Amino acid sequence: MQRWRHAGDRKNFGDWLVLTIDIQMDEAGLQAACEQLIAATSDMEKFLDLGNGKQSSDYKIIFRHGDTIVHERAFFHEGVKFAALRSLISQYVSNVNHESNTWQDEYHPRGSYAIAELVLADQNYIPQFAQLLFNWDMGHETYHYRLIDKLFEKYGYTEQTLFLLAARVCADGQHSGENVLRALYRHGFKRQIVLEDFVSVALAILPDPESAWQLREFARIYAGEDKAQYAQVTEIFLNALRKDKKFAAVLDEVQDSFAEDYDEHQLMEVAGFLADETLGDWNEGLDEALVESTDLSKLLPLEAT
C-alpha cells in the first residue's frame, strides 16, 4: 500500500491524494485489501496529509491486480460477494465519513462506491446508507436518487426500506419528492405502508424538532389530490408530534404549515407526474467518474504504509 500526491491539473482543484493497493482477487486477497483500507483511513487527517503542509480535499483509490487497474467500484462489487467482508467494507465507509459534507471527488461523497455495492448486496446495510443522507450534501445530488429508487425496486417494502424512505424525507435533498412518489406509486409502498410506523421512524431520526415540517411533503405526495386523505394523514402525523414532548415548542408552527398546504396550495397531481417522468439508467452518476483516468506520471510518492 502506497500513498501518493497527484499534481493538480483540474480547474479549482489543487493536488489530491491517491492510494494504491496491490490486491489478489480471491477472498483472502480482498480481505487483506479491505483491512489495509481500514488501517489507512482510521486517521483521516493523516490519510489526507499531502506532505507539503496541505490537506487533500478529495482522494482516489487505485487497486492493482498485477498489471491490471481495478476500479474502486469493481473492487467493492467483488468484495461484497463474500459475506465475511461486508462488515469490513462498512467500517471503511464509517471511517471516511466521520465528518459532514465530505466529497471523494467532484461526483461522489466519500465511500460512495463502497456503500452502493454494499446495499445492493445486503439490505441490512441500508440503515447505514440512510444515515449518510444526513451527513452528505444532498443539495448537490449525483447518483443518489437513482440508487435509492433501485433499492426500493429491488427489496420492496421492508423494515430497512421503510427506514430509508423516512430518512429520505427527513434529510430532504434535490430529489426527495421524486423518490417518495416512486416508492409509493411505482413500487407499491402505498398499499403496504402503515403511516403510524412511518411517522414513528421519521420522528426518531429527524435531525432536530424544527425539521418536522418536512413531513408535510410526504403527506402531500401520499394523498395526491385527495384532500380528505390529506386531512387523515395530517391528523396521524400531528397526533404523533403531540405525544412527543421534544416537539412541543414547534407543534403550532408545524400544524399551521400542514393547514396552509391544505387550504392554499394545490396538492400534487400524482398521475400527471408519473406520466411525464423519466428516470434513466440507475447507474448514471455513479459511473460518471469511471471515464476519468489518473496520470500515473504525476504521482509523487509519500511514505509507504
One digit per residue, the tens of pLDDT, for the chain of length 305 reads 888 787 765 544 567 788 999 999 999 999 999 999 999 999 999 999 988 888 887 888 989 999 888 888 899 999 999 999 999 999 999 999 988 778 887 778 899 999 999 999 999 999 999 999 999 888 888 888 889 999 999 999 999 999 999 999 999 788 888 899 999 999 999 999 999 999 999 999 998 898 898 899 899 899 888 888 999 999 999 999 999 999 999 999 999 888 875 554 455 666 666 655 555 565 665 655 444 555 666 667 776 54
DSSP 61-129: EEEEETTEEE-HHHHHHHHTTSHHHHHHHHHHHHHHTSSSS-BSSSS-BTTHHHHHHHHHH-GGGHHHH
Pair 57, 14: CB distance under 8 Å: yes
C-alpha span between 32 and 124 (Å, rounded):
23
Q: What are phi and psi of 302, to 5 degrees?
A: -100, -165
Residues 6+ apart with CB under 8 A from 55: 45, 48, 49
For 272, counting Cβ atoms within 10 Å of its Cβ (0-12 exposed, 13-18 middle, 19+ buried), the class is: exposed
Nearest Cα residue to 85 out of 25, 150, 151, 173: 25
Residue found under cell 489507512:
40
User: What distance in Å separates the CA atoms of residue 22 and residue 11, rounded to the nearest whole number?
Assistant: 30
The structure's pTM equals: 0.89
What pLDDT shows up at residue 274? 62
Q: Which helix (H) or strand (E) holds 27?
A: helix 27-41
Task: Please count the CA atoms within 13 angstroms of the CA of 305 that sit on its side-chain side.
Answer: 24
pLDDT the model gives residue 94? 96
CB atoms within 10 A of CB 284: 13
Residue 18 host element (H or E): strand 16-22
List the strands of the sheet with 2-6, edge to edge.
68-70, 59-65, 16-22, 2-6, 299-304
Q: Is residue 45 within a helix (H) or strand (E), and if so which, with residue range?
A: helix 44-47
Please choose, from the candidates 124, 126, 174, 177, the residue with its C-alpha nearest in 3D space to the C-alpha of residue 150: 126
Angle, helices 159-171 vs 195-205, to 10°: value is 60
Number of Cβ atoms within 10 Å of the Cβ of 73: 19
Alpha helices by DSSP H, 83-242: 83-96, 112-121, 126-135, 144-155, 159-171, 176-185, 189-192, 195-205, 215-223, 227-242
Task: Write phi, then psi, for 32 (nearest 5 degrees).
Answer: -60, -40
| pLDDT of res. 278 | 59
**Cβ neighbour number for residue 29 with a 10 Å cutoff:** 14
Residue 168 to residues 134, 145, 205, 240: CA-CA distances in angstroms? Answer: 9, 10, 11, 19
